[in-house]
Amino acid sequence: MMLLALALALAQGGARQPIGIFESWGAFRDVEPARCYAIAAPVQRNRSNAFASIATWPGKQVHNQLHIRLSRQRTPRARVTLAIGERRFQLKAGDRDAWSPDARTDQAIVGAIRAGRSMSVESIAANGAPFADVYALAGAATAIDAAGVGCVRPSAP
């Protein structure tokens, strides 16, 4: 329920089409601009619209691109680290958003997500306090696959 509310809040008037809900992850299709994505909210409640998503943009030839919305504004000098099991990835970041530095890292992250049970995104908030947003990965692989297939098939009229 929380996942669907998050996706609808992100729609902001767009033509969002649900593909499916898989455990704690959902898959959705946007018509304009054309993209499909798997998305999840952190397991902690009240995380200020934080989310993790893996998107495919067919018109841009982009597949399985990571985007993280942080739960807090980070301090400008703080790193953002994504941890999945024993793997650690340094992300590029703005004030509240973070991405993989390149497509190769996106591939490695998606591979780790497929094999993992949970992931955390860690940084230092603008007030100097460390924080971590934690995501369950149950259903993530299926949602990522469903989003990929959703952008191959033409959308319903």
Give the model confidence (pLDDT) of 111-136 as tens digits.
Answer: 999 999 999 999 999 999 999 999 99
pLDDT at residue 9 in the model: 47
* pTM of the model as a whole: 0.87
pLDDT at 148 over 70: yes
Over the stretch 39-67, which tens digit does the pLDDT of each residue have?
Answer: 999 999 877 799 999 999 988 888 999 99
- CA 26 to each of CA 20, 104, 112, 138: distance values in angstroms, whole numbers, following the listed order: 6, 24, 18, 11
Rg (CA), the chain: 15
pLDDT at 157 over 50: no
Check: CB of residue 82 under 8 Å from CB of residue 121. Answer: yes
pLDDT at residue 123 in the model: 98
Provide mean pLDDT across the span 107-111.
98
Over the stretch 75-107, which tens digit does the pLDDT of each residue have?
Answer: 999 999 999 999 999 999 999 999 999 999 999
